[in-house]
């Protein structure tokens, strides 16, 4: 399989998880589906790639890193290859989808409707830490309001 094909498959797989997360009725089965059919498969793909690159069993399509991921130069060298960039992208996809799941669950528990959740999920998909940062600010206000009401 080419790096371009793997890159596209991972993208489509993650987008499918995001669509389900954003628009399908959420319940334990659906969230398990997104977790294990989505996040888990992205994680296992990433794990296979990083072990393969570091052991030399998988050619990243360029000079690789010689196993040096402890320096900026080593990481840049890996990301300068099709395989390294694909691996890095899968890393982002897995963590962003996992973070989106956490935001969705947390928002549901705190009584935020889907319309209110959507911007945070979209920002997490497009710019992971920005969406998470903004959600943490908003959720804190709701949590404080609930704590005051409970007293």
Q: What is the pLDDT of residues 64-111, one digit of tens each?
A: 666 677 888 888 888 899 999 999 999 999 999 999 999 999 999 998
DSSP secondary-structure letter at 110?
Answer: T
The pLDDT of residue 47 is 97
With b for 16 or more beta-carbon neighbours within 10 A and e for fewer, the 24-36 pattern comes to eebeeeebeebee
| pLDDT(122) > 90 | yes
| Angle (nearest 5°) at CA 57 between 53 and 58 | 55
């Amino acid at each position: 399989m080419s790096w371009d094909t793997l890159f596209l498959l991972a993208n489509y797989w993650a987008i499918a998880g995001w669509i389900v997360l954003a628009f399908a009725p959420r319940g334990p089965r659906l969230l398990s589906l997104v977790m294990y059919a989505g996040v888990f498969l992205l994680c296992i793909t990433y794990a296979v790639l990083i072990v393969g690159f570091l052991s030399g069993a998988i050619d990243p399509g360029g000079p690789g890193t010689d196993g040096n991921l402890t320096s900026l130069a080593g990481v840049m060298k890996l990301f300068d290859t099709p395989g390294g960039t694909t691996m890095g992208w899968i890393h982002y996809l897995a963590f962003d989808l996992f973070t989106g799941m956490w935001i969705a669950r947390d928002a549901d528990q705190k009584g935020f409707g889907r319309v209110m959740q959507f911007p945070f999920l979209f920002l997490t998909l497009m710019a992971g830490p920005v969406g998470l940062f903004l959600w943490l600010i908003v959720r804190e206000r709701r949590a404080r309001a609930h704590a005051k009401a409970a007293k």
